[in-house]
Amino acid sequence: MEVEKYNSIMNKFFKSPNEAISEIINLQAILNLPKGTEHFLSDLHGEADTFIHILKNASGVIRLKLESIFKNYMTNSEIQDLLTLIYYPEERIKLIKLDEKDIAGWYKKTLLNLIKVLREISNKYTRSKVRKALPQDYAYIMDELINMTVESSKESYYENILNSIIELGEGDNFIIALCQVIQRLAIDHLHIVGDIYDRGNGPDVILDRLMYYHSLDIQWGNHDVLWMGAYLGNLACIANVIRINCGYKNLSILESSYGINLRALETFAIKHYADDDCKNFKIKNLNNDTNPFDDMGLLSKMYKAITVLQFKLENRLIERHPEWDMNDRILLEDDELTKEDIALMNILRQEFVHSKRLKEHIEFLVRKGSMYLVYNNNLLMHGCVPTNEDGSFTKIQIGDKEYSGKGLYDKCNEMVLNAYNNKDKYAIDYIWYLWCGKHSPLFGRDVMRTYETYMLAKKVKENKNPYYDLIKDEEFCNKVLSEFGATGEYAHIINGHMPVKVIDGENPISGNGKHIIIDGGLSKAYHKHTGIGGYTLMSNSRGLYLTTHAPFCKVKEAIERKIDLQSETTEIQQYKTRVKVKDTDNGKLLQDQIDVLKLYLKSYYHMDIE
C-alpha cells in the first residue's frame, strides 16, 4: 500500500501521532494483564433455572471471592446472605425489607460490602473495560466508589455519596446494578459446547439470556441443528422436534414460547389413533407441567402420530440419499405418505418457518455458532471426530466428495451455513443427517434406535464411535489436536454430548488430561444416570478447573432459604506461570494492532521503531 494512502486511512482513526502513541501504550499494558476467566458449559437441554444460576454464581467463583474477602469479618451464614443477594438481588431485597428494622444501616453496610466485592473481582481488568461494564446511569458514581482511597481528606466525600444514594431512594436500584456488574465481570468469556434444546422446558429462556451475554461463542450440538432444520422447513426435523417435546411433555415450548399451533396434529391424532392405547408412548413429566393435551391420553396419541410420520419422512430422506449408507434403517413396513400426511406436515412446516421468535433464536445460533472452535489452543466440539477402529479418521461422503477430520468439520459447517443463508435443498436435507446420521460428527453413534424403542418396545444399545475409546489415549488426543491446529502443553479437547456416568465410575478426564467431557447431565433426565447435576469447566490465568455440581433446587427455594448450588472443584492443570493476555488469541489480535500502529508511526516520522 502506498505510504500516503496508508497514512490517510490511519488519520481517520487518529487525529495525531500522539493519539497512536497513547493507544500503543494502552494496548501494551493490557497485554501484560492476567487473562480473563473462561467458562465452559455443554448440554444445557432446556434447564434454564440451573443454567442461569450457574451463570449467576460463576460456578463458585463469586463464592471463593467472598470467602477470601470476608473470611475474618463474616460468619458463613452472613457470607451466604450476601451471595444470595448477589445472585437474586431484586427478590432478596423484597424479602429483606419485610424483616430488617434498620434498613438505612443495612443499605450502607451492603453497599460497602458489594463495592469491596466488585473492586476485588474487577482488579485484573483495565479501568476502561470496567467502566464499559458499568450501567450508564451509575457509571460515574460506581467508578468513584470502586477506586475509593483511604485518604482522610476524602472520607466525607465517599460518605456523602453513599448517604445520597440511600436518601434519594436509589438504594435498591444501586444494589441491583452492583450485583449485576459483579456477575458480569466474574466471567470474561462464555463457551457453550452444544445442545441448548430439548428435554427441559426452558431453551427459549436460555437463548434469550445468551442473546444479551457480553461475550460468548457456541458450538452446535445435534439437538441445536435439529431445531435449525425444523426452522428451515425440513419435515423430518420438524417431526423429531415435536416428538421429543411430546415425550417430555413440553409442548408449551412450541405453542406458548414459539407460537406454533399444533391443533392440526391433535385433530389428526384423534382421527387415526382414537382406539389405540399407545402403550409404548409413555410421557416423561420432569417439570411437573400441566398440558392442554392431557385429557383422555391425547398427548400419547399425538406422540405416536408424529413418531410414525417421522419414520415415514426419514425413510424418504434415506432413499433420496444413498450416499448416506443408511438403507438398513428403512424399517417401517407401511411407510407411504398419504395425502393427509403431507397436508398435515405442510401445515406444521408453515408454523415453524413463520415463527418470529424461533427465527430470532436460530439466527442467533447461526451467527454465534460453529461446528467447532479452537480458542486459546483448546479444541471445542460437541460430538466427536468420526474415526475407524484403527485410529484413522473416517472418510464420509457429502455430495460427490469425501471428507474426514478437520476437513469434514469445515464442510459440515459450510453445509449448515449454506442451508441457512442460501436455503440449499441438499444442505437442508443434510442437517437431518447431522442430527442422527450414521457417521455424523454431532451424533457419534452407529444409529439412533428410535424405531426399536417405540415400535418394538425393545431397548437396543446405540454403539459409540471408536473415537470415544481411542480418545482415552494421549497419543490419539494429540493427533486430533494437531489435525485442528491446537498444539502445546496447554492444549485440550473439550467435548460435550456423552453424559459421564459418575455413578458407574466413569471419569470426565482422559488421555492424560488432554481430553475433557463436560456433559455431566445438567438435564433432570440424566441425573439418575450420571449421579450428579452437571459439570462446568473454568480456565483462568492460573489453571484449568472442573466443577462438579449437585442437582439444583427450585429458584424460589434458593432465594427464600438462601441455598447455593452445591459444587466441588477439581484442578485439572496448573499453569507454570500465570497466563497473561499476550498469551491468548485476543492478545495476538492486540499485538497485530500494535504492529500496525508502529508501522504508521514509522512512516509518519520516517524512523525505525522497535
Q: What is the mean pLDDT of residues 311-324?
A: 96
Per-residue pLDDT for 104 more than 60?
yes
Rounded to an integer, the average pLDDT of 74-94 is 94
CA distance 462 to 444: 10
* pLDDT over threshold 80, residue 522: yes
pLDDT of residue 284: 85
- Please state, in angstroms and rounded to a whole number, the distance separating the CA atoms of residues 52 and 44: 10
User: What sign does the CA torsion over 146, 147, 151, 155 have?
Assistant: negative
If residue 206 lies in a helix (H) or strand (E), which one and from where to where?
helix 203-211
pLDDT in tens, 32-47: 999 999 999 999 999 9
- pLDDT of amino acid 11: 65
Name 187's bridge partners. Answer: none
pLDDT tens sequence across 164-208? 999 999 999 999 999 999 999 999 999 999 999 999 999 999 999
- What integer pLDDT is reported at residue 289 of this predicted model? 62
Question: What pLDDT score was predicted for residue 4?
Answer: 63
pLDDT digits over 260-317, tens only?
999 999 999 999 999 999 988 988 877 666 665 555 589 999 999 999 999 999 999 9
Is the pLDDT reported for residue 609 higher than 70?
no
Could you tell me the end-to-end alpha-carbon distance of the chain, in angstroms, rounded to an integer? 21
In this prediction the pTM is 0.93
* Helical pair 76-87 and 48-57, crossing angle rounded to 10 deg: 120
pLDDT tens string 369-420: 999 999 999 999 999 999 999 999 999 999 999 999 999 999 999 999 999 9
Residues 401-410 have pLDDT tens digits of 999 999 999 9
Picking from 188, 194, 202, the residue whose alpha carbon sits closest to that of residue 218 is 194
Highest-pLDDT range among 52-66, 476-490, 495-509 = 476-490
With bands split at pLDDT 50, 70 and 90, how would you rate the model's confidence at 5?
Answer: low
Q: What percent of the chain has pLDDT over 70?
A: 94
Instruction: Tell me how far the alpha carbon of residue 144 is from its chain's centroid.
Output: 34
From residue 461, alpha-carbon distances to 279, 467, 526, 530, 543 in Å are 21, 17, 17, 17, 38
The C-alpha cell that represents 21 in the structure block = 502513541
Which pLDDT belongs to residue 173? 95
* CA-derived radius of gyration, the chain: 27
Mean pLDDT of 534-551: 91
Q: Give me the pLDDT at residue 434, please.
A: 98
At 152 the pLDDT is 57
Is residue 135 within 8 Å of 202, Cβ to Cβ?
A: no
Could you give the percent of the chain with pLDDT greater than 90?
Answer: 70
Of residues 237 and 560, more confidently modeled: 237
Tell me the CA distances in angstroms from 267 to 122, 259, 264, 271, one per residue in order.
57, 18, 5, 6
The predicted pLDDT at position 193 comes to 97
**Whole-number pLDDT of residue 238:** 98
Average pLDDT for 458-476? 94
Q: pLDDT by residue (tens digit) across 204-221?
A: 999 999 999 999 999 999
pLDDT of residue 147: 85
User: Position of cell 415435536?
Assistant: 242
Instruction: Write the burial class of residue 130 (CB in 10 Å: 0-12 exposed, 13-18 middle, 19+ buried).
Output: buried
Q: Are 427 and 416 in contact (CB under 8 A)?
A: yes
Query: One-letter amino acid identity for 191?
Result: H
* In the predicted structure, residue 321 carries a pLDDT above the cut 80: yes
Record the cell numbers describing residue 296, joined without a space: 383422555
Cβ 209 vs Cβ 55: under 8 Å:
yes
Residue 433 has what pLDDT?
98
User: Would you state the pLDDT for residue 521?
Assistant: 84
* CA dihedral over 371, 383, 468, 493, signed as positive or negative: positive
Task: Give the mean pLDDT of the chain.
Answer: 91
Mean per-residue pLDDT for 111-133? 91
Kindly tell me if the per-residue pLDDT of 458 is higher than 70.
yes
Q: Would you state the pLDDT for residue 177?
A: 95
Q: How far is it between the farthest Cα atoms of the chain?
A: 89
Half-sphere exposure of 367 (CA within 13 A, CB side): 10
